[in-house]
Amino acid sequence: MRSPRTRPAAVLLLASALAAFGLGPAATPAAAATVPVGNGSYSDTRPAGTSGPTTNTGTPVTPKVTSAARSRPVPTNDWWSSLAFQRYGDNPWSTPMYGHPLTYQATAGGLDVGYPTSPAIVGDGRQYEYAHKRDLTIGLTGLNSPDTKADDWSDWTVTPLWSDGTRTLRTTIGHGSPFVYAKGTGGNAQITTAGAPTVFADQGNVLGITVAGHHYALFAPSGSDWNVSGSTVTAGLGGKDYFSVAVLPSTGALSTFAKYAFSFVTDSKATWNYSGGTVRATYTLTTEAKEGSERGTLQALYRHQWLNTSDALTSYTYVSPRGTMKVREGASFSTSQKASAVLPALPKSSGVDAARLRGYLNDVVNASDPFSGASDTYWTGKALGRLAQLVPVAEQIGETGIRDRMLNLMKGKLQDWLAAGGANEFSYDKDWKTLTGYPASYGSDTELNDHHFHYGYYVYAAAIVAQYDPAWAADSAWGGMVKTLVRDTANPSRTDSAFPFLRGFDVYAGHSWASGHQGFAAGNNQESSSESTNLSAALVLWGSATGDTSLRDLGTFLLTTESEAIAQYWFDADEQVFPSSFGHDTAGMVWGSGAAYATWWTANPEEIHGINVLPVTGGSLHLGGEKAAIRRNIAEMERENGGPAVEWRDILWEFQSFADPASAKSKWDAGNGGYTPEEGESKAHTYHWISTLDTLGAPDASVTGDIPTSAVFTKGSTRTYVAHNHGSSARTVTFSDGKTLSVPARSTASGTGAGSEDPDPDPDPEDPPTGNVFQLRGGGVLTTSTGGTAGSDTIPSAGGTNHDGTPYQPLVYEARGVNGTLTSGAGTTFRLQVDAGTTVGLGQQARISYDLTGDGTFDRTETYNYFATDPVTGWEEYSQARGLRSSTGTLGNLKGGTVRLEVWSAIGNGSSKLQTGTDKSVVVIPFS
């Protein structure tokens, strides 16, 4: 969550709006304090003694928007929220806003703009920042506005407005936009630079300047002329009211950017579609031609986007806190991703002892207070989530009595909250158009923080109830209020007058934001990304259980998109985002300006590494897609912690089970009796989770089913296919590798699948392989299995620096648990297919290491001379014939050992490709 976990801390909805979202009849027009929704209700007035949004000194605030925007719900938790939420009374403009690649801050004189390109390491090395630093201010001559208000917004753009009574300025800014589009009246265009600019191009109404090492282009209407006087650059607008400014990737890009200078963006919109295990999304900008007829534009894609698009990109790039951004020439682009899996629970397996599990379940259901004294929205939600995970588990071992007792506990607590007038209730704020639960916590009331974190637990619990009691979930019963919570946190409608579109989810950034006011120099932030995906998984389950495919597909889009963002920006899965100077393998918090190895409430490494894992549910399976990152993450936690986890051991055992189930099981076996579960966990769930994955293997994200509630697990060469069918009739689920699974109505089924032969077994690297020839597979795997699907991994550029003999951002492939007898007189051999395309001067290098006993220490390391690739597209073979450059240690027999291959660019200034999934890229070890 966004705030410390341990610190103290009259509206009428139109009938048409309610009917549009299936919420049943609206309240009759009356000044009632309670608005009924089915069997539930909410209040239109806050409980006595409570507060809504305030400044930091406790003064109540309303949205800081123009009269034109007053009727629109403000998407509070966004990258630009400080424009609308005045958290600090002495700052009526904004705090720094991080659009990427540009950064912004509203001031009295206009819009400060920067392009931070060098990270700073702060907080004793625990945070990296590309902090906002003004390069220039976009304004009008004489502008001195007393405040700045939000005038318009769309999915990832916003238009702030300044007015001082004489002059009026509007600018449109957004994620991925290298342009700032300005409209002004009452004065000339004025650009004030942080220092005297260097002019590199002067074409009258087009001016190229360099400020603080960054290149900008200024565009005034045709017939105008820019005038430079010291640090002030002005242009008359010649009766027009528009001009624009762009940050350039290079001075040579000026002509390309000039083409789109007057194609002003007026709207941004994301659309999505789920079908057959794949999520597709399209991101579209609407433009208006201020001059000429050009309607195209340029937009910079984040890493999570360009990794998943096949659309053509230019050679232009930008620096950002999220790694390299790549530029698309065009008004739209699309992405395609394999959908992240969601299950109500892991399936029944032979690894779980029913008697032992029954004892753990009884400990929970027979507790004197199953809700552990929780009274506020957050801790009540966690308690609901703890019970929700156990309902399907109890059913698996035939404990229907325990199942039903838990369901009744959940129903009772949910109904307490979903009906106004008691000790707990939800209250609607007509100014901020939000639903706040009271008692509130962690600023969910005064700062509008964390609604997606808190309410996600309620929706998840309601989805489990709906799985067993559809009548309870009907709109006319309790489902209407559940949907109202959904509308507050993840409203799919842009036309709903009562709640904003996707309140906290930033569709372009690919993840949610937690702060409602964004009142920080570092921008907005999100700590517990996993509690954000908990809401998305809850939407998948709720939509599936209630037959609402629209909400189901929304949840699948949100979960799949955010899972990639989490992998890249919280876990740095490809090791291409965090600056090398940061020195950490994970971030507890992501900020607009960067990321921090921290939490809001503690510096304990266990919580830093665990906060983006909990709650562990059937919606957490996406974490298993990046096994190498998990191993790095756990290793760092234990280094920083001075040993294995002590406080949050259950969360971190479960996290490790996504990559190395056997290792997690051994830790559980050694320590399960003497620990206190994390507040949202139970020994019943942890035991079931770890034992099941130890039996089935880790999640296999390479294969998807054709419904969102399906998943695949791989152990050795065996895949287990799992699906839950919420429907009222049996169905067959088809997986992307051709296997099928018959699933009865309202049931979970699992099996090894029927149908075509599995083309890509992709064994989990924890399992002992057989043979001595290892293929490379995507995701960092060496495997003795054959029949893989041909693919490739990208070898990062050497960056123009010589790395001969020293791995630099290497691709790493491993096989663990390897047994073998050393063959006397034999040596390591390999053949690797590499391709530099048409890039000249590249050289790839390989190192092969042996940890003979699997204790984490490599006993033998062999580094081979690099291979100079040609600049002709096509695979070339790099082998041990290039010669051994250096070696350390000696070989011996392998006993549960590890074999590691590292491949990197030793020289050159471009990336290259390494073939995977074929018998043409293999390592042959000298063992039998």
- Tens digits of residue pLDDT in 751-792: 998 875 333 333 333 333 336 889 999 888 999 887 778 899
pLDDT(13) > 70? no
Assign 1 a pLDDT band (cuts: 50, 70, 90). very low
Structure tokens at 203: 């074409």
SS3 labels along 355-414 = HHHHHHHHHHHCCCCCCCCCCCHHHHHHHHHHHHHHHHHHHHCCCHHHHHHHHHHHHHHH
Q: Quick one: which of 492, 434, 513, 505 has its CA closest to 97?
A: 513
Confidence band for 25, pLDDT divided at 50, 70 and 90: very low
Cis ω before 615 (30° cut-off from 0): yes
Q: SS3 helix, strand, coil % of the chain, rounded to 5?
A: 25, 30, 45
Work out the angle at residue 853's Cα, subtended by the Cα atoms of residues 849 and 859, and round it to the nearest 5 degrees. Answer: 40
Residue 77 has pLDDT above 60, yes or no: yes
Residue 731: strand pairing partners: 743
> CA-CA distance, 27 to 733, in Å (whole number)?
42
The encoded tokens of residue 758 equal 């599995």
Which pLDDT score, from 0 to 100, does residue 830 have? 93
Supply φ then ψ for residue 200, to 5 degrees.
-110, -10
Least confident of 311-320, 469-478, 861-870: 861-870
- Nearest CA to 107 out of 119, 96, 120, 123 is that of 96
Sheet-wide strand order for 739-743? 731-734, 739-743, 754-755
Q: What value does the mean pLDDT take over residues 285-296?
A: 97
* DSSP, res 927: B
- Give tens-digit pLDDT for 388-422: 999 999 999 999 999 999 999 999 999 999 999 99
Please say whether the beta carbons of 182 and 243 come within 8 A: yes
Residue 394: φ, ψ to 5°:
-60, -40
Burial of 729 (0-12, 13-18, 19+ CB in 10 A): exposed
Q: HSE (CB half, 13 Å, CA atoms) of 588?
A: 24
The neighbouring-strand residues paired with 901 are 813, 848
Q: Residue 641: what are its φ and ψ, rounded to 5°?
A: -85, -10
The pLDDT assigned to 771 comes to 63
In the block, tokens 């003694």 appear at 49
Give the span between the Cα atoms of 515 and 98, in whole angstroms: 14
121 falls in which pLDDT band (50, 70, 90)?
very high
Q: Given pLDDT bands bounded at 50, 70 and 90, which one contains residue 5?
A: very low
Residue-wise pLDDT for 196-233, tens only, equals 999 999 999 999 999 999 999 999 999 999 999 999 99
CA-based end-to-end distance of the chain: 51
Identify the CA nearest to 622 among candidates 695, 682, 570: 570
Above pLDDT 90, what percent of the chain?
87
CA atoms of 407 and 466, how far apart (whole Å): 10
Strand partners, 426: 437
Which pLDDT tens digit goes with each residue over 474-486?
Answer: 999 999 999 999 9
Phi and psi torsions of 292, nearest 5°: 65, -150
Q: How many residues does the chain have?
A: 928
3-state class (DSSP) for residue 487: helix
Q: Using CA atoms, how far apart are residues 297 and 287, in angstroms rounded to an integer?
A: 8
Amino acid identity of 191? I
Nearest Cα to 489, choosing from 479, 476, 499?
A: 499
Mean pLDDT confidence for 607-613: 98
What is the rounded average pLDDT of the residues 59-73?
Answer: 96
Q: What is the DSSP letter of 7?
A: S
Residue 631 host element (H or E): helix 627-641
* Contact (CB, 8 A) for 904 and 809: yes
Q: Which residues contact 108 (CB under 8 A, 6 or more apart)?
A: 93, 143, 144, 145, 146, 162
Q: How many Å apart are CA 547 and CA 135, to the nearest integer?
A: 52
Closest CA to 168 of 221, 249, 218, 237: 237
AA letter at 495: T
Residue 516 has pLDDT above 60, yes or no: yes
Give the DSSP letter of residue 802.
-
For residue 855, the model assigns a pLDDT of 83
Mean pLDDT, to the nearest integer, of 875-881?
Answer: 89
The answer to whether 849 touches 894, Cβ cutoff 8 Å, is no
Tell me which residue of 721, 723, 732, 719 sits closest to 760, measured CA to CA: 719
| Number of other residues whose CB lies within 10 A of the CB of residue 292 | 11
Which single residue is written with the structure tokens 């053949």? 831
Q: Sheet containing 110-114: which strands, arranged edge to edge?
A: 97-98, 103-107, 110-114, 136-140, 189-193, 232-235, 227-229
Q: How far is CA 82 from the centre of its chain?
A: 22
Strands (E), 752-837: 754-755, 773-777, 781-783, 791-795, 811-820, 829-835
Backbone angles phi, psi at 575, to 5 degrees: 55, 40
By the 8 A CB rule, do 453 and 532 touch? Answer: yes
pLDDT of residue 928: 80
In one-letter notation, the amino acid at residue 699 is P
Residue type, position 704, single letter:
T
Find where tokens 């507790």 sit. 367
Side-chain-side CA neighbours of residue 170 (13 Å): 17
The conformation of residue 822, written as its DSSP 8-state character, comes to B
Residues 6+ apart with CB under 8 A from 498: 11, 13, 17, 73, 428, 433, 487
Answer yes or no: is pLDDT of 335 > 90.
yes
What's the whole-number mean pLDDT along residues 727-731? Answer: 94
In order of 117, 338, 858, the CA distances from 911 in angstroms are 21, 25, 28
DSSP reduced 3-state for 458: helix
Q: Which of 562, 474, 483, 472 is nearest to 526 (CA)?
A: 562
Query: Quick check: 576 pLDDT over 80?
Result: yes
Which residues belong to the active site?
A: 450, 527, 531
pLDDT tens profile 361-384: 999 999 999 999 999 999 999 999
Per-residue pLDDT at 616: 98
- Residues 46 and 437: their CA atoms lie apart, in Å, by 9
**Percent of the chain with pLDDT strictly greater than 70:** 95
Three-state secondary-structure class, residue 292: coil
Beta bridge partners of 104: 97, 113
pLDDT score, position 757: 39
The Cα 465–Cα 460 span in angstroms is: 9
What amino acid is encoded at 825 in this protein?
Answer: G
Digit-coded pLDDT (tens) for 691-708: 999 999 999 999 999 999
Query: pLDDT value at position 840?
Result: 87
User: What average pLDDT does range 295-301 have in this prediction?
Assistant: 97
In this model, does residue 2 exceed pLDDT 50?
no
Please answer whether residues 725 and 746 qualify as being in contact, where contact means their C-beta atoms are separated by less than 8 angstroms. yes
Q: Which helix (H) or strand (E) holds 272?
A: strand 263-275
Mean pLDDT of the chain: 93
Confidence (pLDDT) at 786: 75
Least confident span in 141-150, 538-547, 919-928: 919-928
